[in-house]
Chains A and B, each alone.
Chain A
Amino acid sequence: MDLTLHVWRQAGAATAGRFVRYELGDVSPDMSFLEVLDLLNQQLIGRREEPVAFDHDCREGICGACGMVINGRPHGPRAATTACQLHMRHFPEGAEIWVEPWRARAFPVVKDLVVDRSAFDRIIQAGGFITARAGSAPEANAIPVPKGDADRAMDAAACIGCGACVAACPNASAMLFVAAKVSHLGLLPQGQPERAQRVLRMVEVMEAEGFGACSNHGECMAACPKEISIDFIARLNRDYLTSVFRHQPSEEGPDPAEG
């Protein structure tokens, strides 16, 4: 198939970017969107032009490395699909496709479609450790976990940290990411001892990183390749509220964020 791509090209964080138009022929409908970019890059390299920089790693939809806004939607038009798992058969022949990076102050553009998502790493760091016994695998039934809690914890743990929620949010808010990360430990017995300080610190760092506020639009949930529900945001809000009023900082042990 033939495609017209408009790709955001930006040399670095400090320089201004712009869309560049590329005509691409011989695209197989079985290619993934990233393979189309590979094809484009081979042609660019052949012409001695700078290839398009984009993030990718597993190409199996589970690592969270890839991510770009394709025709106005993070990871493209398919629900529950990462850019690497988006196949060209879902586009019409002769499609015109606009590709831009995640846009948020907390995700500065490194180059072209690559953004720096280390703000997410700093939020995770702020969450700190859990006081679970490390070493050999524990006996499976030593700590009973209700089935419903285990299922919901796994739903939250499905988050791959790709940042599509931030990209899709009209406010560039990271609430869905933080909600998923707070909930998947907060729902399990192993996550209880540090539960209050975890949510307080993760929210504090989230705000310091410059993400926007949640206005309950729900766009994050629609863009999330793992279909994480905004019910987790309600859960985060309640966890945060109860922790602000109940948590006694003087009772803290060693700082889990520095452990």
Chain B
Amino acid sequence: MRRLLSLSRSVVGKKVIMAVSGLILFLFVVGHLLGNLKVFEGAEKFNAYAEGLRTVGAPFFGRGQLLWIARIALLVSLVAHVWAALGVTLASRQARPVGYRYLETSETTYAARTMRWGGVLIFLYVVYHLLDFTFGRLNPSFEPGNVYHNVLASFARWPVSAVYIAAMLVLGLHVYHGAWSALQTLGWHRPPTDRWRRGFAAAVAGVIAGGYITIPVAVLAGVLR
């Protein structure tokens, strides 16, 4: 515990906390994508999957208990991720009080430069997303338990789909720099894997953004009805 505390005080340690919490959130993003793609298996199976999230772990866990454990773990990761990002950003802002007239960049990527605002956009989108699909407050015709219907009802309106697609592109950029950066921050640089880290991050980010985007596209194209 004392060591975790000394880690949390250091900026290098905060980056480690950001990497680990980011990887937990990343695992959720992957799992959520795999679950969402069941929408292509039809209403019955998709709704059964949504119900399964609540009954998984029975009889050892009651209805929704495991789901809430997962939600709490995600919430803790999110708080840790944002807290670490704030600490790191603050340290960096203070580190250069007088700026350059002009500083050229050559190595950095668009994804790396947009991590901070990209993270804010993703957070705002997640809030909207929960209000739409989890709480049903912003859904045109929310039916608790009928997840398939809710998804189609929302994505049938093109602005909702457009915002979703934009958010997933932002998520893809965030995951691209995040995945590569996490490997770097956790010190994973064995010589044979070095060359693959960037490519691996790009592939993972592309699959995630592309996978999620198939759903609103399929709804708008009339593939899902």
Contact = CB atoms under 8 A, between A and B. Distances in A.
B103 A72 contact: yes
A171 B92 contact: yes
B184 A233 contact: yes
A107 to B, nearest CB: 10
Interface string A216-252: 1111011000000011011111111100110000000
B201 to A, nearest CB: 11
Given A173-B92, A212-B91, A98 B102 contact: yes
B10 A238 contact: no
9 contacts: A69-B100, A203-B12, A213-B89, A215-B112, A215-B115, A222-B107, A235-B187, A237-B16, A240-B10
Interface centre among B88, B89, B104, B177, by most chain A C-beta atoms within 10 angstroms, is B104
B3 to A, nearest CB: 5
Interface residues of B, number: 44
Give the dominant DSSP class at B's interface.
helix
Given A104-B96, A213-B92, A219 B15 contact: no
Interface in A90-149: 98, 100, 103-106
Contacts of A172: 92, 95-96
A168 B107 CA distance: 11
Contacts of A173: 92, 95
A103 B91 contact: no
Contacts of B159: none
A184 to B, nearest CB: 16
B94 A216 contact: no
B191 to A, nearest CB: 8
Nearest to A168: B103
B187 A241 contact: yes
Interface of B: 3, 6-7, 10-16, 88-89, 91-108, 112-113, 115, 177, 180-181, 183-189, 194
Contacts of B91: 171, 207, 212-213
A98 B102 CA distance: 9
A49 to B, nearest CB: 22
Contact of B14 (A105, A106, A213, A230): A213
A237 B12 contact: yes
A217 B185 CA distance: 12
Given A244-B6, A244-B13, A217 B107 contact: yes
A215 B103 contact: no
B59 to A, nearest CB: 38
Interface of A: 19, 69, 71-73, 98, 100, 103-106, 168, 170-173, 175, 203-204, 207, 210-219, 221-222, 230-231, 233-241, 244-245
A216 B185 contact: yes
Nearest to B187: A238
Nearest to A245: B3
Contacts of B103: 69, 72-73, 168, 170
B108 A218 contact: yes
A78 B16 CA distance: 34
A217 B105 contact: yes
Contacts of A217: 105, 107-108, 112-113
B10 A237 contact: no
B105 A213 contact: no
B91 to A, nearest CB: 5
Nearest to A77: B104
Interface centre among B93, B95, B107, B184, by most chain A C-beta atoms within 10 angstroms, is B95
B90 to A, nearest CB: 9
Contacts of B14: 213
A76 to B, nearest CB: 11
A71 B104 contact: yes
A105 B13 contact: no
A218 B100 contact: no
B88 to A, nearest CB: 4
